[in-house]
Amino acid sequence: MDAYKLCIVVWLLACTGAAQADTTHVDAELAASYDNNLGRAESAHDIFGDNILDFGLTVTRSMLLTPNSGLRFRGGLHLAEHAKYTDLNLVSANIGVSYRVQPVPGYVAPWIEFGAMLTRQSFNNSAIRDGRLLAMEAIAGKRLTDRIGARVGISREQRRADVADVFEWQRHRIYVMADYKLDLNSTLHVSLLRDFGDQVFTTTPNLELREYSKAIAKDPVFGVRRAYRMDAIADALELGVSTPLNSSNTLDIGLRRFHADAVGGHSYDNTELRASWLYRFNRDFPLARDFKWKPLGQLFDFT
């Protein structure tokens, strides 16, 4: 199923559903970002950055099961345009479902959520990157005070590529997230993540990397360089501030710092600066009070 067919499924999910479904809302997002290491390279002569423009459209249908639990069905379309490395321009579509329960009602009472999402990715001129991604996660969270919220989670990600297995991977993630209301409007959000599993490095052909790699393929996006898939432990720190402009518009500015250590002593760093504008066509839906919107750049989008 290519991205366009998956888009059709997305809209069918949004326009149908059980009679008990409470409401449907639509979010549109426009984001501009700078990624300073597109190929996740280690050596300075292999590192290339680019400006990226993203557009996303997400349709969400929520359904109450009990006063304390509910389901959310979500589908979305994501487009990414690169200023220089246009081969990496992306069309992706996703469908997902999540279940949340709050055993004891209350603003500061803890809740638990389980979710899964399937994503189809098609690149402009990089067939080795085309593929599908399945992500599953479990989260627990609560409001600590009227200003502070926190959550912890675990997830598993599995990717299958259409052509080259170098862009196939399995990863496990643990993470901690927190948000702090700076005032009546603005919210500071912080995330700390650790991934265990496969990472892909693109670099000049390297015999030492070959020794530790699970898969290798030529990567014409970056000239004569090759992509290497290796076992690694990766850490990411994300900081951002979200500010509602009015009842429908939200501005989010964030910074993401990423570091990966692979077998054989190899590593790479990556920094992304991002500014996003979100327009919500319908803001009124149940179980939404503690649902935090995430920028497109984040893998999971259930909370």
- 298: in domain: no
What is the total count of domains within the chain? 1
- Where does the pLDDT of residue 17 fall: very low under 50, low under 70, confident under 90, or very high at 90 and above? very low
Residue 142: inside a domain: yes
- For residue 290, is it within any domain? no
Q: What is the average per-residue pLDDT within 216-238?
A: 96
pLDDT, residue 26, reads 94
Q: What does the pLDDT look like over 96-120, one tens digit per residue?
A: 999 999 999 888 899 999 999 999 9
**238 and 255 Cβ atoms separated by less than 8 Å:** yes
Has residue 300 been placed in a domain? no
Do the domain assignments include residue 296?
no
> What is the per-residue pLDDT across 243-279, written as a single tens digit (0 to 9) for each?
999 888 999 999 999 999 999 999 999 999 999 999 9
In this prediction, residues 198-206 reach a mean pLDDT of 93
Q: Does residue 302 fall inside a structural domain?
A: no
Residues whose CB is less than 8 angstroms from the CB of residue 253 and which lie 6 or more positions away in sequence, other chains included: 240, 241, 274, 275, 276
How far from 126 is each of 91, 129, 159, 161, CA to CA, in Å? Answer: 12, 6, 16, 11
Res 5: pLDDT: 54
Token pair in block for residue 112:
């638990």
Which amino acid does the sequence have at 80?
A
Question: Has residue 149 been placed in a domain?
Answer: yes
Please report the pLDDT score of residue 299 as a whole number: 35
Residue 18 lies in a domain: yes
Give the model confidence (pLDDT) of 120-153 as tens digits: 999 999 999 999 999 999 999 999 999 999 999 9
Cβ of 128: how many Cβ atoms within 10 Å? 20
Question: What is the CATH number for 186?
Answer: 2.40.160.40
What does the pLDDT read at residue 52? Answer: 98
Distances (CA, A) of 298 to 46, 133, 176, 237, 269: 25, 14, 14, 12, 17
- Domain of 47, in residue numbers: 3-280
